[in-house]
Every structure is written in structure tokens, then in C-alpha cells.
Amino acid sequence: MTMGPSAGGDAGTHARPTVIQLTIKEKGALYAAYIPLFTEGGIFVPSSRQYTLGQDVYVLLTLPDDPQRYPIAGKVAWINPPGVAGARTQGIGVRFPADEKSRALKARIEEILGAHLASDRPTQTL
């Protein structure tokens, strides 16, 4: 069976999302990368690649002391360009999608962080 250009959905109009593997090994690093400001949650991904706002990205996230990898089909919500003020790490903020998996992942991250969430320590995020 062959498929015409319309059978695949977005046949060439959009590039496939970039796949990013992100392994966070320590609670402190998770605290620095987690973005609680987004309703569904989000994560900062250090990267020197070029991204655009709204770009689809697929993140395979591994959390501290958790063997499971969490797939996130997110969107670039902000960009820290090279040489950004405040010596912030170059990379992107990825907003989790509004779905049940994201709500579960946000709850898992907040469970891991626990009391760290109330900290006023600086993060890599907003």
C-alpha cells in the first residue's frame, strides 16, 4: 500500500520534532531546571542548538533516583541565547503539553523536590 502526500498528515510542512535526551541526576539540578510557572509544568534544557519559540520538541526526561524515562512532546516557551545576561545557562525552556501524562509528571517532579519548591535559591529558569 502506498501513501500519497496527504496520508501522513503534515507531509513536509513541518520538520519532525527534535528529540532531546535529558538526564537529571540530582535534586538540586532538578530544582534548577524545573519550571513551576507553567500550569502543566516545564523543564529547562541546556543546549547550544538554535531553536525558535513555539517549536515542537520531544524530550526524554530521566529524573533523580527514578529508572523510568518520561517522554514529553513539548514546545519551546523561551530561549536563553548565548551570552544571556546574568550568566544564565544557554538553552531552552520547554512547556509540557496540557495532558494527563504531563500532570502526572509535574506531580512526580514536585514529589521528588518536596521542600525544595519553597526555596528561594536561584534557578536556570525565569
- Other CB atoms within a 10 A radius of the CB of residue 108 amount to 15
pLDDT of residue 1: 41
pLDDT of residue 125: 52
Tell me the domain boundaries of the chain. 18-114
pLDDT under 50: residue ranges of the chain:
1-13, 124, 126
Tens-place pLDDT, residues 57-83: 999 999 998 999 999 999 999 998 887
Q: Distance between CA 106 and CA 90 in Å, rounded?
A: 23
pLDDT of residue 81: 87
- Other CB atoms within a 10 A radius of the CB of residue 86 amount to 6
CA distances from 6 to 10, 11, 31, 88 (A): 7, 6, 43, 43
User: What dotted CATH number matches 18-114?
Assistant: 2.40.10.220
Cβ-in-10-Å burial (0-12, 13-18, 19+) of 47 comes to: middle
